[in-house]
Amino acid sequence: MSATAPERCDILIVGGGPGGSSAAATLAERGHRVVLLEKAHHPRFHIGESLLPANLPLFERLGVAAEIRAIGLPKYGAQFHAEAPERTQRFAFADGWNKSLPLAYQVRRAEFDTILIRRAAVLGAEVIEGCRAREVEFTASGVRVRAEQPDRERIFEARFLIDASGRDTFLASRFGTKQRNRRHESCAMFAHFGGAWRESGARCGDISLFWFEDGWFWFIPLADGTTSVGAVVWPDYMKRREQDVRSFFLATIERCAPLASRLAQAQLLTEVQATGSYSYSCPRVRGPRYLLIGDAYAFIDPVFSSGVLFAMVGGIAAGEALDTCLREPRHARAALRRFERTVRRGPQRFAWFIYRMTQPAMRALFMEPKNPLRMREALLSLLAGDIFADTPIWASLKAFQAVYCLTALAMPRRSWAARTRRARRIGAAGSG
């Protein structure tokens, strides 16, 4: 494999998902020389098809709103299903605090990600697909990355590096700083189905969440009639698997009667895929000459469909911060601090709710939501991803947290049993 002379740019981005593409588009539009390395070739399959209303202003900002609308199924709400007793609660985004965010979209990620990366190229970024970053070296003046394509090796030298490599965690893996999230553990199995029952009318595009004893399921309808279905389970449940992943996944679905009824006449269209325990974070979101965004920084749980939003927000924030660093170096420190606050905000704001989503008190509040102190509206804004703007939801969410604690105290045996079981399962995962 032959190597060429170093190729120079202002910013090198590793990873061509929503985060990397958003960063590349932001920087290229401002006239910087950007190189984006993507290990695969678009379109390529990716899970995570459900977007949030807070994504929509970002699509407008990047100039892709019409294209996303053309491929998406409108998503006006989210449904939560409890099995014992069987109940359903629907949250409509239009009822949230911010009335300007009434909907989102369900999308095939192969199409969605392709739109974003092609937009970055149109704006001037050099997009190189089928190119995997292998080694990185930091110098006083920048960063040097060795990358490989099937027929050659390439060396890139840049002033800054943005790691948007997702769960590959390009930098954190090389630094040895990727840390298992000791407060949360989960695994996932997922596939696409055809012929699944779905709601009609405005509720056709709702995402549905089904609780069951060992975790929860997602049910995401797509515009072409396909449905994405996944099970997020405790690692100890996955370890009990004695059959192939496909059979185990289908058997797990049968354990949740409301979901199984929706899939009774459905056909499995894809292979069932599985992931191991994937909750992690990195202690640093930035360092000399580099920034981490999206899943390259942290991932907790997909329960609120926040991954694409966090990646895009982080990508745009990274682009704005590095634009300042390059144009106005005297303001670089402040710009990088703003970037760090932005990227950390998403996981921090969602973590409290994610850690408690399987607890009986949280389930009770979601299934019978009330709106004193506008708590229900604030919760809807959280579900919509409206946490980066100035929507004044935080006092109401604090009130919701207080009500949660009181609700947990009102059911001491169930709360203690659930808390103990959760701690045992996290401990078992850590020792496995």
- 92-123 residue pLDDT tens: 999 999 999 999 999 999 999 999 999 999 99
Which residues make up the CATH 3.50.50.60 domain(s) of the chain?
A: 2-72+107-181+279-348
Mean pLDDT of 274-298: 92
Q: Note whether 294 and 18 are within 8 A (CB).
A: yes
Check residues 254 and 186 and name the one with the higher pLDDT: 254
Instruction: Tell me the C-alpha to C-alpha distance, in Å, between residue 429 and each of 46, 81, 231.
Output: 26, 27, 17
* pLDDT level of residue 424 (50, 70, 90 thresholds): confident
Taking the C-alpha atoms of residue 69 and residue 245, their distance in angstroms, rounded to an integer, is 34
Q: What is the mean pLDDT of the chain?
A: 94
CA 269 centroid distance within chain:
24
CATH architecture, range 2-72+107-181+279-348: 3-Layer(bba) Sandwich (3.50)
What is the model's pLDDT at position 429? 59
pLDDT tens, 226-253? 999 999 998 889 888 999 999 999 999 9
Mean pLDDT of 289-299: 96
What is the model's pLDDT at position 432? 47
* pLDDT level of residue 394 (50, 70, 90 thresholds): very high
Buried residues in 175-193 as b, exposed as e (16+ CB within 10 A): eeebeebeebbbbbbbbbb
Rounded to two decimals, the pTM is 0.95
Residue 86 has pLDDT above 50, yes or no: yes
What is the model's pLDDT at position 45? 93
What is the model's pLDDT at position 185? 81
Q: Note whether 231 and 259 are within 8 A (CB).
A: no
Mean pLDDT of 383-392: 96
* pLDDT level of residue 194 (50, 70, 90 thresholds): very high
Residue matched to tokens 């292998």: 134
